[in-house]
């Protein structure tokens, strides 16, 4: 299993740049240390977190049809694979249809890639799994070296929604530039729906999403010697129905200073100043068509769950 991990200097400059910006932020990829990955698995099982159930339903009900569009021989590269629980459903369909494929999960969380690799090798004997640990922005450069078979990229779980529309477009254009004509991209995207349903998915009753958000601060303490006091920060998600974005933040409930011992930085917070931690974009069909058109893909087919909450949209590089 190959690893391209961020250097300490890259991490320091990214985190400190975020926390010293006029609008403080921490990039959302820092959610996923071991604790964060486990918390995310818990989130996927919450009654409020409809996204994972909807995508699993799509794969159960339409997976056979969906994988028939992949052709016979290809390599699956999954960006931000996580625990791969939904991907396993598609792998079963592919094996049933005797497809010739390798599976390459890419994730920034080393534990996630390790666990997924051993789980899939046990669950699907004979399947070739070749995991990569690292930032998918860096891993995209490796795509060309993967061989001559058609590539089918998976980007599931509305992962794309963690980018702003502008960054999504840049990312999709970047992916497109690394593919060859006829390669495929399968995106899982969360759709606009009743705002209350959306907001609850990011603010569940048990407080698991709250813990997931606050774990960012715990991680800064554990790994970078910071002294955040989680009890002085408020988990505050809200949904903007005008632009379709859930914005999650951690709001400092007082004036305070946080020190990073490892790096020697002090970060000052005014009372009620927020750290922006994540966006989760919700889409409609016009936005999806726009992204495909502008990034050099054609939409082959869309697959929905029975509630029309979520879409898996299969794109082909033009
Ligand atoms: C919202 S979870 C989705 C997991 C999975 N795709 C699913 O649908 O269940 C996001 C996943 O992407 C990974 N991730 C986030 N940012 C990443 C980055 N920049 N590079 C690689 N992996 C990343 C996280 O570690 C996590 O496993």
Q: What is the pLDDT of residue 188?
A: 98
Ligand 1 atom showing the smallest separation from residue 32 Cα:
25
pLDDT for 234 beyond 70: yes
Q: What is the pLDDT of residue 198?
A: 98
Better pLDDT: 3 or 263: 263
Cα(187)–Cα(153) distance, rounded to whole angstroms?
A: 8
Q: How many CB atoms lie within 10 A of CB 239?
A: 22
Band of pLDDT at residue 14, cut at 50, 70 and 90? very high
HSE, CB side, 13 Å, CA atoms: give it for residue 31. 27
Among positive and negative, which fits the CA dihedral 200, 204, 205, 209?
negative
Instruction: Tell me what percent of the residues of the chain surpass a pLDDT of 90.
Output: 90
Task: Give the gyration radius of the chain's Cα atoms.
Answer: 20
29 in contact with ligand 1, CB cutoff 6 A:
yes
Q: What is the pLDDT of residue 140?
A: 83
Q: What is the pLDDT of residue 5?
A: 73
Cα(192)–Cα(181) distance, rounded to whole angstroms?
A: 31
CA angle at 109 for the pair 260 and 99, rounded to the nearest 5°: 165
SS (H, E, C) the chain: CEEECCCHHHHHHHHHHHHCCCCCECCHHHHCCHHHHHHHHHHHCCCCCHHHHHHHHHHHHHHHHHHHCCCCEEEEEEECCCCCCCHHHHHHHHHHCCCEEEEEEEECCHHHHHHHHHHHHHHCCCCEECCEEECHHHHHHHHHHHCCCEEEEEECCCHHHHCCHHHHHHHHHHHHHHCCCCCEEEEEEEECCCHHHHHHHCCCCCCHHHHHHHHHHHHHHHHHCECCCHHHEEEEEEEECCCCEEEEEEEECCCEEEEECCCCEEEEECCCCEEEEEEEECECHHHHHHHHHHCCEEEEEEEECCCCCEEEEEEEEC
Q: What is the pLDDT of residue 1?
A: 66
157, two tokens:
């779980």
The string of pLDDT tens digits covering residues 289-313 is: 999 999 999 999 999 999 999 999 9
The mean of the pLDDT values for the chain is 95
Q: What is the pLDDT of residue 175?
A: 96
Better pLDDT: 169 or 4: 169
The string of pLDDT tens digits covering residues 52-94 is: 999 999 999 999 999 999 999 999 999 999 999 999 999 999 9
Q: What is the mean pLDDT of residues 13-39?
A: 96
pLDDT for 266 beyond 80: yes
pLDDT for 141 beyond 90: no
135 in contact with ligand 1, CB cutoff 6 A:
yes
Q: What is the pLDDT of residue 133?
A: 92
* Centre of ligand 1 from the C-alpha of residue 108, in Å: 7
108 in contact with ligand 1, CB cutoff 6 A:
yes
Band of pLDDT at residue 278, cut at 50, 70 and 90? very high
* Centre of ligand 1 from the C-alpha of residue 162, in Å: 10
User: Minimum mean pLDDT among 15-29, 107-121, 137-151, 183-197: which range?
Assistant: 137-151
First to last CA, the chain: 32
Pocket test for ligand 1, best of 42, 46, 82 (most atoms within 8 A of CB): 82
Q: What is the pLDDT of residue 148?
A: 84
Q: What is the pLDDT of residue 274?
A: 98
Q: Under 8 Å CB-to-CB from 213, ≥6 apart: which residues?
A: 31, 235, 237, 248, 250, 277, 278
Cα(61)–Cα(310) distance, rounded to whole angstroms?
A: 13
Largest CA distance in the chain: 61
Cα(153)–Cα(70) distance, rounded to whole angstroms?
A: 11
Q: What is the pLDDT of residue 143?
A: 78
Better pLDDT: 147 or 252: 252
């Amino acid at each position: 299993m190959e690893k391209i991990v961020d250097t300490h200097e890259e991490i320091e400059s990214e985190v400190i740049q975020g926390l010293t910006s006029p609008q403080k932020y921490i990039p959302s990829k820092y959610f996923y240390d071991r604790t964060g990955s486990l918390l995310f698995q818990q989130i996927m099982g919450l009654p409020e977190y409809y996204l994972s159930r909807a995508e699993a339903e799509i794969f159960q009900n339409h997976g056979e049809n969906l994988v028939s569009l992949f052709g016979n021989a290809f390599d699956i590269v999954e960006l931000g694979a996580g625990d791969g629980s939904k991907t396993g459903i598609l792998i079963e369909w592919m094996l049933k249809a005797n497809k010739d494929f390798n599976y390459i999960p890419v994730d920034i969380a080393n534990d996630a890639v390790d666990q997924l690799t051993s789980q899939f090798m046990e669950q699907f004997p004979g399947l070739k799994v070749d995991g990569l640990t690292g930032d998918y922005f860096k891993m995209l450069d490796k795509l060309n070296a993967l061989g001559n078979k058609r590539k089918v990229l998976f980007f599931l779980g509305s992962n794309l929604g963690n980018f702003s529309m502008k960054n999504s477009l840049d990312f999709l254009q970047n992916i497109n530039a690394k593919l060859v004509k006829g390669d495929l991209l399968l995106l899982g995207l969360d759709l606009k729906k009743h705002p209350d349903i959306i907001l609850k998915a990011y603010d569940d009753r048990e407080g698991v999403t709250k813990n997931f958000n606050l774990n960012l601060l715990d991680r800064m303490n554990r790994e970078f010697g910071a002294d955040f006091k989680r009890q002085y920060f408020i988990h505050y998600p809200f949904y903007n129905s005008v632009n379709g974005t859930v914005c999650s933040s951690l709001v400092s409930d007082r004036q305070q200073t946080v020190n990073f011992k490892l790096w020697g930085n002090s970060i000052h917070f005014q009372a009620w100043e927020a750290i922006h931690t994540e966006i989760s974009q919700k889409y409609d069909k016009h936005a999806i068509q726009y992204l495909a058109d502008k990034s050099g893909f054609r939409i082959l087919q869309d697959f929905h769950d029975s509630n029309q909450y979520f879409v898996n949209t299969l794109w082909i590089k033009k």
